Structure 1
Amino acid sequence: MKSILTVNAGSSSLKASLYVIAEGKLNSILSYTASRLLETGAVKCKLSESGEVREYPLDMQEGELAHPAAIRGLLSEIETLDGEYEVVAVSHRIVHGGNYNKPQVLTSDVMAELRAKEPLAPLHQPHNLAMVQLMSNAFPEAEQVGCFDTMFHAQDRGFIRENYAIPKELRDQGVKRYGFHGLSYEYISKALKAEYPELAKGRVIVAHLGSGASLCAIHDGKPVLSTMGFSAVDGLPMGTRTGCLDPGILLYLLDHLGWSTDQVEAMLYKNSGIKGLSGLSGDFKAVLDADSAEADQAIEYFCHWTAYHMAGLAQSMGGLDTVVFTAGVGEKSPEIRSLIMASMEWQGFKLNEMRNAVNHRGVINTVHSNKSVILMSTNEELVLAEHASELLR
């Protein structure tokens, strides 16, 4: 059976799904997640048809790197499936696509352009691109397809929303607002249109909240503005990333404290955000569960600035009708949703705290609220498979 394999590689995780192409439709057969790859390594594998879920430690051979071990585990799972599956395409999530506004077959020229973007997404881009070679080795006859988190935002948003107030020669060299988490926003935008067509026509902010976090203003299904810009470190505070930061701080670190650029990069991407504020961890759940004043302050800080950015995005659309929460923290943390929306009550939002507390999928605002709050699961893997299928056709 012809099939498409999707691959989503992060700095410490690997997500993959196998989809069968049947009568023009995509049917999920297998979902595979390898997490904590920088630590012990853990695998969760789900067979879509039977619903069987297996969880086990990642089998790493002595001296083996974590991501290749995770790929080896994935290939082993595929081999154990009933039936024969011909992988005709491997669809990769790649965080930074530069000026590419649609999926690309990953030729050597395209790969060279994407490698040049590694400094703009150092936690993800190198792992994304490393997977392409590993998958080429595993499936030499399959097309390697790149789908970019920047694609959704690549529609014409106008001069004001796309650019920074910098000299024209820099803007001409591609220094502009790109936006990220686009595969997730694309899925939510389509799902909202299918399930809540009237809400989808209005002014929506989607909150993709996870270890990486951003917001996107979407009006009538089209992106207006996102909190992330030139790189994946801008906007909201995140698990280990700073979010918005006065650039004068970076000059101070470089010129007066004598920091190297490597030290600055580590501070921006790996040692800040919730981790830096709490002094504990970049894992939101661990910080929520911790009993310390610093942990409480870190969560309150995150929620305050998320609401702050929501208000700014609302201005960019001339108002706000609906907020959609998605991704790991957005879907699983009632406390964070409650704190954020409490700061948005002045806009007319009011949560149904009972529905919110049990992570009720769908509408979680009260019937007396004149604005909507929706909880939805994202599905980047399905978007990856759909794009690869369309490209093959």
Structure 2
Amino acid sequence: MTDDVLLTFNAGSSTLKIGIFELKSGLARNVGRGKIDFDQSPLKLRYSVGQDRYEKTVKGDNDANFVAVISETLEHMLAHLPGRLRAVAHRVVHGGMVFHEATLLDDAAIGRIEALVPLAPLHQPQALRVIRSIETLRPEVRQVASFDTAFHSSQADVVRRLAIPRGMHDDGVRRYGFHGLSYKYIASRLRKIDPAVAGGKVIACHLGSGASLCAMENGISRDTSMGFSALDGIPMATRPGWLDPGALLYLMRRGMRQPETIEDFLYHECGLLGVSGISGDTRVLLEDKRPEAEEAIDLFCLRIAGEIGRLSMTIGGLDALVFTAGIGENQPQIRTRVAKRLQWLGIEIDEDANGSSLTSINAASSNAKLFVIPTDEEQVIADEAMALIM
């Protein structure tokens, strides 16, 4: 491969995912992927280029020596790619009220992203340190940021508003929504699979360790389950989803007063893990026969189905449901449980198609179509970067 290369970085709290793209004829074609899990010691970079797979030990750490991690990652991966590194593109969780589309990064843009850290204190810094590391190591390479919140900027003001004083809304305390890069990909993919349905009323269910739903009309976001933060909406692996603020006041009066303690509790001790007391992983819970595991799964599916009902109201109907992300793509039991709770809407699932995880899984008698579509956030990040650098 001698064409120019683009790398994408998707930085999480404990993992770093890398996409490798060949730039040719104005298109970004994925040719490899990589991942570092910071919970492992020593750190390992596992990646593929074409059909070849590699595993390399990486120096550095997830703290002060993070730039060394990026340096070694670039060294290992680019050794297999004779083309020039043309650009690096990043997933940034929060764009606030500032970023409604992907942007080229310069000092001013990076400063605006840093100013949004209070809106996403666990996620925003992870992307920023990758951006700063690339800036240090490869200052000549152009960088682009894509924002998870940008896709939802099309929502009406009344949908984004919380029932709080107007001045707070104007200052940015509002519903933003997340997983936008995933939903943008699903909207584009559905246009290829079923253009007529894609132009209608669609609810996509991004079900992973972090989970949300999005209601779309003609591929445009109209409402979503997540709100001001990625804690909101349906229960997740270790996050609670909707939570009565009165419950937090109660916990604070009981001694949980420090913001850091509350933050750790909400992000790491709640959700399916908290309900079951066993695990936040739905695969583990589905195999476990204890009633606590069953209740956690039942609550998960109940809240998903309930949110589908609410989102259907926002868009005035439902033509199709799409299941995506790790749980949505790979766990037919969850899809069945959700669909059964929606039979009152005339939704019927084809169990054979669902068990085989085919693209179309609705029964012929269903009032709405059901799809399983793998998501690809890295492709969206690469495509948005291409639009800015070419």
Shorter-chain TM-score category? over 0.9
Displacement after TM superposition at 1:68 (Å): 5.4
The one of 189, 193, 204 equivalent to 1:206 is: 204
Corresponding position of 2:278: 280
Displacement after TM superposition at 1:292 (Å): 2.1
Corresponding position of 1:71: 70
Displacement after TM superposition at 1:289 (Å): 2.8
Please list, as runs of the form range in 1=range in 2, the aligned pairs for 1:254-333 lying within 5 A after superposition: 254-333=252-331
The separation in 2 between residues aligned to 1:284 and 1:74, in whole angstroms, is: 32
In 2 relative to 1, CA 264–60 (structure 1 residues): closer, same or farther, beyond 3 Å?
Answer: same
In 2 relative to 1, CA 238–69 (structure 1 residues): closer, same or farther, beyond 3 Å?
Answer: farther
The separation in 1 between residues aligned to 2:121 and 2:286, in whole angstroms, is: 27
Residue 381 (1) aligns with residue 383 (2): no
Corresponding position of 2:179: 181
In 2 relative to 1, CA 64–298 (structure 1 residues): closer, same or farther, beyond 3 Å?
Answer: closer
Corresponding position of 1:5: 7
The separation in 1 between residues aligned to 2:294 and 2:199, in whole angstroms, is: 37
Q: Size of the alignment, in residue pairs?
A: 385
- Secondary structure at 2:19's aligned position in 1? strand
The separation in 1 between residues aligned to 2:278 and 2:107, in whole angstroms, is: 42
The one of 28, 31, 36 equivalent to 2:30 is: 28
Corresponding position of 1:149: 148
- What runs of 5+ residues in structure 1 fail to find an aligned partner? none
TM-score, normalised to structure 1, is 0.92
- What runs of 5+ residues in structure 2 fail to find an aligned partner? none
Contact 1:14 1:67 in 2 (8 A): no
Contact 2:27 2:386 in 1 (8 A): no
In 2 relative to 1, CA 70–300 (structure 1 residues): closer, same or farther, beyond 3 Å?
Answer: farther
Displacement after TM superposition at 1:264 (Å): 0.8
Displacement after TM superposition at 1:42 (Å): 5.6
Deviations 1:21-80 (A, max 9, x none): 112122222211223x224566542223xx3344x4x62548675965753553243233
Corresponding position of 2:130: 131
Root-mean-square deviation (Å): 2.0
Contact 1:254 1:261 in 2 (8 A): no
- Secondary structure at 2:57's aligned position in 1? coil
Displacement after TM superposition at 1:129 (Å): 1.2
In 2 relative to 1, CA 73–342 (structure 1 residues): closer, same or farther, beyond 3 Å?
Answer: farther
**Aligned amino acid, residue 368 of structure 1:** S
Deviates more, 1:369-378 or 1:276-285: 276-285
Contact 1:34 1:70 in 2 (8 A): no
TM-score, normalised to structure 2, is 0.93
**Aligned amino acid, residue 26 of structure 1:** A
Contact 1:8 1:14 in 2 (8 A): yes
Corresponding position of 1:52: 52
Residue 372 (1) aligns with residue 369 (2): yes
The separation in 1 between residues aligned to 2:134 and 2:376, in whole angstroms, is: 21
- Secondary structure at 1:363's aligned position in 2? coil
Contact 1:227 1:309 in 2 (8 A): yes
- Secondary structure at 1:102's aligned position in 2? coil
The separation in 2 between residues aligned to 1:112 and 1:63, in whole angstroms, is: 25
Displacement after TM superposition at 1:229 (Å): 1.0
The separation in 2 between residues aligned to 1:42 and 1:62, in whole angstroms, is: 11
- Secondary structure at 1:141's aligned position in 2? coil
- Identity fraction in percent: 37
**Aligned amino acid, residue 263 of structure 1:** T
Deviates more, 1:268-277 or 1:255-264: 255-264
Corresponding position of 1:232: 230
The separation in 2 between residues aligned to 1:135 and 1:283, in whole angstroms, is: 34
The separation in 1 between residues aligned to 2:104 and 2:367, in whole angstroms, is: 45
